[in-house]
Chains A and B, each alone.
Chain A
Amino acid sequence: MTSQFKIATFYLYRMRQSWTTYLKELLEIVHYFYFAPAYHLILEGILILWIIRLLFSKTYKLHETYKLTEKEKEDLIEEWQPDPLVPPVSKDHPSLSYDVVTGHKITINGKECINFASFNFLGLLDNERVKQKALASLKKYGVGTCGPRGFYGTFDVHLELESRLAKFMKTEEAIIYSYGFATIASAIPAYSKRGDIIFVDEAACFSIQKGLQASRSFIKYFKHNDMEDLERMLKEQELEDQKNPRKARVTRKFIVVEGLYINTADICPLPELVTLKYKYKVRIFLEESMSFGVLGEHGRGVTEHFGVNIDDIDLISANMENAVASIGGFCCGRSFVIDHQRLSGQGYCFSASLPPMLAAAAIEALNIMEEDPEIFTVLRGKCKHVHKALQGIPGLKLVGVQSAPALHLQLERSSGSRDSDMQLLRTIVEYCLERRVALTLARYLEKEERFLPSPSIRVVVTVEQTEEDVHNAVSCIQEAASAVLK
């Protein structure tokens, strides 16, 4: 029996042996060491030292490679050439040749047109009552508020608008923001933090995308309006949660959807979403900028459209820039949820409040909507009419549902490149502009969109457009399409 084997057995048996045998064994070990050959001991000694060295030394030396002398630093600083602040923009970039639009009878480059481009669904942009209320407010409060809500930037008008919005939407509370884009973009990160999970529809608009980014949560995109795909993801997450219940107990989960998608002009399947919400215990945030003041018998949006109890939606956000035709946005829901934004909504706390005259205009718009819900029926009729009329234009494909007031016309067959598609569509838009029909291309930041929508012409329906206007516009588009898309 060699000495090594003896040592090994000693360690194996050590635990079982009593204290005395332990001592005895130890003596035996010493004994073996004593009689072991010298070369063996030296070899083992070297091996032990080697292991210690390996344990305590780093694989590479950081300091030697990192320490730069002042001279070297100076040279590097001299050498460094930054990129230009911004890359050059080609002169013919479409954004630079802005159309100059004056007033709301839409005069584009001196030509009066019928507006099929502004999101002025209810025709309130040019409404005399709204203007008068705004003027009265201007004469009382001036224009600006000169402060954020916390610091003398809260006006009685703001409080009135908030309670009116809450009443209109039949929710406990509403909170207003001074900029539509900032509303949902501030609301999402107020609740969802690092480590939380957000399930979001692929077609979600850009301000939602920015809110998601600011929240630093895990983002999971499900296929547009595909509830099976969403449920698959929720199930996956449920399994994941079962594996790690401690983490799951503090991981908040949200579904973020749009009521009426601006990018695809279709409606989210809200009842199914609510079922999934309770099944998988996920909260729903609903962005209604396109559907507020459009869908539903009283214009309350997609909840009313489907008859879903509004309390089942955790947060609804919308801007007051489309149907309401003022500026700003709001969130509404239960006080438990909404009130949190008063200290945590960045765009609310750190921004100057909404100019009172714009709030007053929004209140008057709500008055009009409440007094005459008929307006929504009219809008629905027009939407249906336009939707039908735009069907079957050769070469163009209509995207959107019947009740959507902002539709997209896409090319039936792409020409191969995005740029040339855009060019084709732009030619159609310009052709129509010549004939006094104001349309616009839907514009996107191509590099920043998560899922870039196909190029399209936006067609916006408003209650002001007469049957003749629609007829004109449709025949214009038809002519243009047949001329351009051969």
Chain B
Amino acid sequence: MSLHVPSMGWRPVQGVPCLRPMSAGIGSSNQNVTHNSSLYKKPFEESFEETPLLVAVLTYMGYGILTIFGYLRDFLRHWSIEKCQVAREKEEQKDFVPLYQDFENFYTRNLYMRIRDNWNRPICSVPGAKMDLVESVSHDFNWTFEHTGRVVKDVINMGSYNYLGFAENNGACADAAIEATEKYGVGVASSRCEMGNLDIHEELERLVARFLGVESSMAFGMGFATNSMNIPALTGKGCLILSDELNHASLVLGARLAGSTIRVFKHNNMQSLEKLLRDAIAHGQPRTHRPWKKILIVVEGIYSMEGSIVRLPEVVALKKRYKAYLYLDEAHSIGALGPNGRGVVDYFGLDPKDVDIMMGTFTKSFGAAGGYIGGKKELIDYLRCHSHSALYAISMSPPVAQQIISSMKSIMGEDGTTLGADRLRQLSENTTYFRRKLREMGFIIYGNDDSPVVPMMLYMPAKIGAFGREMLKRNIGTVVVGFPATPIIESRARFCVSAAHTREMLDTALEATDEVGDLLQLKYSRREQPLPSLGWMAEESLLQD
């Protein structure tokens, strides 16, 4: 058999192997390199600008100071000088083995608690382009929150994964969901294999298969569980799972429950993946040296914390060459990428048949809940009898299923309108615009130019809280994330662009970001600003330097 991809034949790693700054962040490469451009139909632009050294040092110092103060506060709490607000174990159980080790909650107590108000902000409206927040205040430094009873109206929502704007309480989708509720009720009270198989589920599955361009599909009630309950059905002992280091917790859990060997490759790094594949096949299983039964590569479409897009053409080439199977989690990319909204396969213009297991969720672009798996008929038939979810979990709520059917039909243009197509175009325009503007302002923006997930680097722990609060003051809801969701120094804010955002909303958000960016000195980028007219060409020339 000849090599499918001669350019990818094995050779020692040369050139710029490091595709993204590792947790140390310093001194790694500046730009992702398209090293197999022949596989791509359009330029694959992804950047992870290096952390400036000074910023890195200051960030570590910040955590150092927080830790010292944390110990000090713990000391004061221990001697009851400071009031301890942590819930205590009840008296009768004080002599039990402690439920938590002391250090386990150190981070929560001393770091997270200070900026806790940035998360779990309750909302009381549709999570659409604008949302209403329940105003809550804390009188005890975030230990408890009190709702004032007032509502913060019309906050621009840059946090929800509402990529196509299908989170709506009126319109065709909502009407259909209302009808479904009236017909079926909300619950099912049985599993798919027992008495919970409704015709609406079968309709949904046929539609999903058609949408994805695969033979068959199966829908599940929860996106997280779609991963964690189905990977164990596909692999087991004697199998190898090759997993991207930044894969979502559900994939990691699924792989762990499967009982297979798990090896991790560097994020989106094809050399790392190929090396693992070659070594795995050549050496077989550890200790027994039997050949692996099968190898499953697990990747995501869009990585939600990085905004990067998987190098799918290369992964597919590798998988074909090494006869591995490919599990693609399109939680964020389905509906959000590709000219037809069919995810990352559509985006790269590949054949869905090249991906063995197409997984995705309905939570994001479809404004519903749950997940699916699509693929060959044999695969789905097997899952119907062996998926944990099919036998033990209650099937999907009918109105949720209906919401997916309606929104998916709209994306496919089967509702007889161009609404879906308009949304897809709008999302892509909004993404390009928003990313370009932020970059021009001098922020460090991670990820692929086409990804609607836009991570903006904050780095320092104090700025996590400050950014979230300052933005909310300006009526913009953003998500801020820090350790442990990101490497310790790479705290960031994350914007999720939606098709529902109007240009005015984006401009308001950008203006506020600009203002807060100046206030908090967040404009870290040292990159020469590309001239707007040159677009990606300018970045290409940066590469050649």
Contacts and interface: CB of A to CB of B under 8 A. Distances in A.
A117 B92 contact: no
A82 B323 contact: yes
Contacts, number: 365
B92 A278 contact: yes
B333 interface: no
Interface string A199-226: 0000001110010011000000000000
Given A144-B403, A178-B369, A351 B223 contact: yes
B281 A83 contact: no
Tell me which of A179, A182, A250 has the highest count of chain B C-beta atoms within 10 A of its own C-beta: A179
Interface in B245-282: 248-250, 253, 256-257, 278, 281-282
A146 B222 CA distance: 13
Contact of A250 (B101, B278, B322, B391): B101
A346 B253 contact: yes
Tell me which of A66, A99, A441 has the highest count of chain B C-beta atoms within 10 A of its own C-beta: A99
Contacts of A182: 222, 224-225, 228
Contacts of A135: 178, 181-182
Interface in B61-76: none
Given A443-B191, A458-B194, A180 B174 contact: no
A144 B196 contact: no
B194 A117 contact: yes
A355 interface: yes
Contacts of B196: 101, 118
A139 B169 contact: yes
A104 B134 contact: no
Given A355-B400, A444-B391, A131 B194 contact: no
Contacts of B384: 89, 95-96, 98
Interface residues of B, number: 124
B489 interface: no
Contacts of A205: 392
Interface stretch (B41-49, B159-167, B309-317): B159-167
A337 interface: yes
B531 interface: no
B399 interface: yes
Given A178-B369, A355-B397, A443-B193, A86 B122 contact: no
B117 to A, nearest CB: 12
Interface in A124-161: 124-127, 130-131, 134-135, 138-147, 149-156, 158-159
Nearest to A151: B479
A423 to B, nearest CB: 16
Given A143-B400, A145-B363, A325-B187, A100 B199 contact: yes
A143 B100 CA distance: 37
A154 B123 contact: yes
Nearest to A197: B97
Contacts of A102: 198-199
Interface stretch (A51-59, A69-77, A296-304): A69-77
A80 interface: yes
A321 interface: yes
Nearest to A351: B224
B190 A87 contact: no
A350 B249 CA distance: 7
A239 interface: no
A358 interface: yes
Given A210-B257, A326-B186, A346-B250, 13 more contacts: A68-B283, A85-B378, A98-B193, A100-B199, A101-B195, A134-B399, A139-B178, A143-B399, A151-B479, A152-B477, A191-B99, A281-B93, A442-B194
The 3 closest A-B pairs by CB, nearest first: A179-B222, A95-B385, A117-B195
Interface of A: 66, 68, 70, 72-73, 76-78, 80-89, 93-96, 98-104, 106, 115, 117-120, 124-127, 130-131, 134-135, 138-147, 149-156, 158-159, 178-182, 191, 205-207, 210, 213-214, 248-253, 278, 281-283, 311, 314, 319, 321-322, 324-327, 334-337, 339-340, 342-343, 346-347, 349-352, 354-355, 357-358, 361, 438, 440-445, 448, 458
